Structure 1
């Protein structure tokens, strides 16, 4: 009998709960669609059935206010306050109801009563702060959260306070709050980084960057912790001050030897951004301090790649010295692959490179390393225009690593090689797949090449210049810059006025920059713009030209002019945000 009664009770409760949930969902739908009269009826019923549910009550009060039924809202709230006088959020709601009617004095009196109540009932402080924030009473929300923290040692509302200061534009207070919040628990480091990132730029002179750095240095002086060095390191990387980031990394390493990997990673970032001096310092430090062979040889390889990038005349001797000291074995595997790349693309010795790769292959520790050797062998074959051999290697890797980044890269290389050998139809088929399913970098490259082929494919057997352009692209890939420039010059003469013209000008400009013919590159970019602002390369031309004026010619007025062109003439450009930031930096604004 008891079991039956319990079952019936649970069944009734379940039906009641489902009905209530259904009513609330319908009421919320009406509320979101501004159908407040319909929502009011449902919320009234919900409040009657669940008189202590503040969500239902807040919604009902909002419905009354949106339909100017302020007296009904006041009457209901006053009844609730009499019934539950300790629930100070009701006074905030009533105060806001007065404020909606322009009764400021009455509203402020109730707001102050709610704040005063936190002393006696700190448990309600968080809810009071949230409600003030909801009503956009930001200063009062800050007061509520701070008052609550005084009387409740377990409460940590620093993050919420910092967010409010950010909304108000009080960035100095915001950064100080984030830092204080982190001081109480450094497990929140990643959250604070994400929150601060929206206010930090790559400009070290930006006011926000300076304020953030000051907050960190103050805290570091009063309470030294690893977390402050970590944040300073992060800030300097954002600002591309890699040398300063290295100093912070070394400070972290002195306290924790496990931090060495961060120094190597910083070296890679500096290398990608062409700060080769800092990159070398990072890799030298790794070589000196590491106890792991893999990290040591990776750092040695990166130092050799720096030498290659800087056209060090002693690169070959440096490779030989490494192999003489450490041998040709599994430890030097990645260095052997890098050496093959150098021999092919810098020294024009592809056959020697193949021998190096064939020697390296047995030292591959796993299938991924073997695949990378095969990818490099395929690249060497493309360099020699042995396309079918290259395609065999690429296809093997594509099949073996179907859903891996290596497989996607191999598929792109299949498409690129097919394009080089004028098989445009097959290249497009591969690129179409990659546009939507590959990693972002590969997808972008695939989309660019797909557009080149689509826009310039011959129609009705009439030459379009695409074959010649693919040849120029191949020569550029082979690092035969002079020959590529010659072919591009012929294209521009033979196919003037055809769609291929802007592509040829753009590729030619890229090679002019590579060979430090800056004025010729700028001339090409101007020609692209002259062909029509509607062209897909016009914003690229403006942006790259602005960069040349800023960094190579040092004509900052011209650079500003071209960044401004993107801001006003190309609102949907991928360069818009960066152009605006650089323009404002050159103008001397606080971003």
Structure 2
């Protein structure tokens, strides 16, 4: 019976304690709510009750002290903290709070004196210095924080634990050389901290003077101590500053010191390629291939080298004076250079005739013949090699897709449909290729006049709007749906669209002009006019294009192309006619009238570029 009574007593007591804790917790939340709403007196009343109920609870004490300081009741804050210090004199955080109160009173000497009292509680333990340094930082007393951390560093068995804090404060105060010294000291002792250090450096490296000061210090460290991690850090700093030449040279030294067998050089090459630094990517790949010929990474490096050369040429074309135009006349550029790239791929394919490298190299060759040299027959024959060598790979799917485009350009539409079916059935997980194949399938059916099949295919693409062909699918669907009752004129538009795809702008323009000159066609007229404007831009007839685009951008009755035309009008004035004033006016118009336009961000970007150039 006595045992049962004891158990009941314990259960009741536990329940009462839990209930009390829950009540206090609810009061604490209420006090915080009052504090957030600026009702400080109400918050103070509740915090006083909580502090009286549980004097040992630091959260309650901190809340009450915070409220007192916010109300500038500094004397009450000091009394509260001093009383608590008498009870627990070894609690360093109390001295930190006390110093903060004095600082808020503009009594800096008393603040420092309070923190020194805290240090005296355990002067030979580094933790004390870190705690009080944090209070100094909260009050933006950077010099005091640095002093405290450096003093604590002397007592630490592992001084490196202070380096991140010290470096952070130095960098905030633009003392970049001192920050770099701390970081170098840290990674020298703890190389595994290199990632954190790089992340910290990246946060401020673009600030005035940061790059020069940091590189200077890191370089000094490498000269005194040839640790691999320091060379890695120096290479990283050179890369951040844009000095890839020095970054590459330093990476070579880093690889030697680390006995990396070229792996770090290979990684550098890949990173340069990803950042579109093709000159140094090619140089790095070439160095790796020549110096580490036995590395298992050689096949990847060789194809990386060839792709770098190819993408370098592609980027030149992408940045050509005509790159702003929606459609450009297909012409061969950099023929000799592309043929050299083809030779590089051919050598690679010959070296690895029985693996995936052969397939990828041949696919790249076919793409160059098709997209850059306009040699469709040569491209088509090489796509066949890819398909025969790798029946179920992604490159086979892409090869069928490219063969379909060739067939479309040569007006072999039924063959194109067959190739597109094949492309879409190989790798169902490659949604990008799948959607592209579907789009062209819908487009070919549109050209053939099978509008029902075309619309159904475009609808499949629109099940997922996060793909590159969704916007075009929407436009074609809208055109077909609005004009399907006028099939004769819709077929004329489809013919014009096909001829334009086949690089026959003059023949295409005849079809579109017939429709553009007929104002009774409404929506079809809008589509035809916009296409006609694109053709005029292809042939550098900017004034004719401007006349059409001005009408389209101001058409309030049928505003399908209003935002698109306004944006293209801005591009035409800026890059075609060199009239920056009118270009700015059109970009501004788009921003004001079409805030939800797909071209909003681009228009703002071009407008800012013009403003910066003018300013």
Mapped contact 1:64–1:70 kept (Cα < 8 A): yes
- 1:343 is displaced (CA, Å) by 0.9
Report what 2:382 is aligned to: 356
- Per the alignment, do residues 306 and 158 of structure 1 end up closer, same or farther by CA in structure 2, a change over 3 Å counting? same
Residue of 362, 368, 372 corresponding to 1:336:
362
Residue of 169, 184, 187 corresponding to 1:182:
187
Mapped contact 2:176–2:210 kept (Cα < 8 A): yes
How far, CA to CA, are the matches of 1:4 and 1:369 in structure 2? 76
- 1:90 is displaced (CA, Å) by 2.0
Give a deviation string over 1:509-567, Cα, whole Å, max 9, x none. Answer: 9xxxxxxxxx96471666422435333579857966998xxxxxxxxxxxxx74256xx
How far, CA to CA, are the matches of 1:427 and 1:467 in structure 2? 22
Report what 2:336 is aligned to: 312
Residue of 563, 572, 588 corresponding to 1:533:
588
How far, CA to CA, are the matches of 1:292 and 1:73 in structure 2? 67
- Alignment of 1:44 with 2:48, yes or no, is yes
- 1:494 is displaced (CA, Å) by 4.0
How far, CA to CA, are the matches of 2:81 and 2:395 in structure 1? 70
How far, CA to CA, are the matches of 2:476 and 2:33 in structure 1? 48
How far, CA to CA, are the matches of 2:17 and 2:475 in structure 1? 62
Mapped contact 1:95–1:106 kept (Cα < 8 A): yes
Structure 2 SS opposite 1:132: helix
| TM-score of the aligned structures, taking structure 2 as reference length | 0.70
How far, CA to CA, are the matches of 1:125 and 1:295 in structure 2? 52
Matches within 5 A, 1:15-94: 15-94=19-98
Mapped contact 2:424–2:433 kept (Cα < 8 A): no
How far, CA to CA, are the matches of 1:508 and 1:418 in structure 2? 31
- Per the alignment, do residues 539 and 434 of structure 1 end up closer, same or farther by CA in structure 2, a change over 3 Å counting? same
Give a deviation string over 1:456-489, Cα, whole Å, max 9, x none. Answer: x99973456545656897x9xxxxxx99346877
- 1:208 is displaced (CA, Å) by 0.9
- Per the alignment, do residues 8 and 522 of structure 1 end up closer, same or farther by CA in structure 2, a change over 3 Å counting? farther
Mapped contact 1:528–1:538 kept (Cα < 8 A): no
Mapped contact 2:570–2:584 kept (Cα < 8 A): no
Residue of 498, 501, 505 corresponding to 2:552:
498
Report what 2:538 is aligned to: 484
- 1:43 is displaced (CA, Å) by 2.7
Gaps of 5+ in 2: 315-333, 484-520, 554-563, 592-598
| TM-score of the aligned structures, taking structure 1 as reference length | 0.73
Report what 2:304 is aligned to: 299
Superposed CA RMSD: 4.4
How far, CA to CA, are the matches of 1:30 and 1:247 in structure 2? 61
Residue of 92, 96, 99 corresponding to 1:95:
99
Mapped contact 2:550–2:569 kept (Cα < 8 A): no
Mapped contact 1:243–1:278 kept (Cα < 8 A): yes
Residue of 172, 177, 184 corresponding to 1:172:
177
Report what 2:250 is aligned to: 248
- Per the alignment, do residues 45 and 545 of structure 1 end up closer, same or farther by CA in structure 2, a change over 3 Å counting? closer
Matches within 5 A, 1:142-153: 142-153=146-157
How far, CA to CA, are the matches of 1:16 and 1:505 in structure 2? 72
- 1:341 is displaced (CA, Å) by 0.5
Mapped contact 1:162–1:178 kept (Cα < 8 A): yes
How far, CA to CA, are the matches of 2:474 and 2:268 in structure 1? 34
Report what 2:435 is aligned to: 411
- Per the alignment, do residues 139 and 221 of structure 1 end up closer, same or farther by CA in structure 2, a change over 3 Å counting? same
- Alignment of 1:124 with 2:128, yes or no, is yes
Give a deviation string over 1:496-517, Cα, whole Å, max 9, x none. Answer: 44235445456769xxxxxxxx
- Per the alignment, do residues 281 and 453 of structure 1 end up closer, same or farther by CA in structure 2, a change over 3 Å counting? farther
- Per the alignment, do residues 162 and 449 of structure 1 end up closer, same or farther by CA in structure 2, a change over 3 Å counting? farther
How far, CA to CA, are the matches of 1:147 and 1:164 in structure 2? 15
How far, CA to CA, are the matches of 1:373 and 1:322 in structure 2? 19
How far, CA to CA, are the matches of 1:526 and 1:394 in structure 2? 47
Give a deviation string over 1:121-164, Cα, whole Å, max 9, x none. Answer: 54433222222222333222222222222212246122122222
Mapped contact 1:119–1:147 kept (Cα < 8 A): no
Mapped contact 1:415–1:430 kept (Cα < 8 A): no
Mapped contact 1:158–1:178 kept (Cα < 8 A): yes
- Per the alignment, do residues 525 and 251 of structure 1 end up closer, same or farther by CA in structure 2, a change over 3 Å counting? farther
Structure 2 SS opposite 1:531: helix
Mapped contact 1:286–1:296 kept (Cα < 8 A): yes
Instruction: Give the number of the structure whose alpha-carbon radius of gyration is greater.
Output: 2
Mapped contact 2:570–2:582 kept (Cα < 8 A): no
- Per the alignment, do residues 528 and 520 of structure 1 end up closer, same or farther by CA in structure 2, a change over 3 Å counting? closer
Mapped contact 1:267–1:283 kept (Cα < 8 A): yes
Structure 2 SS opposite 1:136: coil
- Per the alignment, do residues 75 and 464 of structure 1 end up closer, same or farther by CA in structure 2, a change over 3 Å counting? farther
How far, CA to CA, are the matches of 2:392 and 2:122 in structure 1? 63
Gaps of 5+ in 1: 476-481, 510-518, 548-560, 569-591
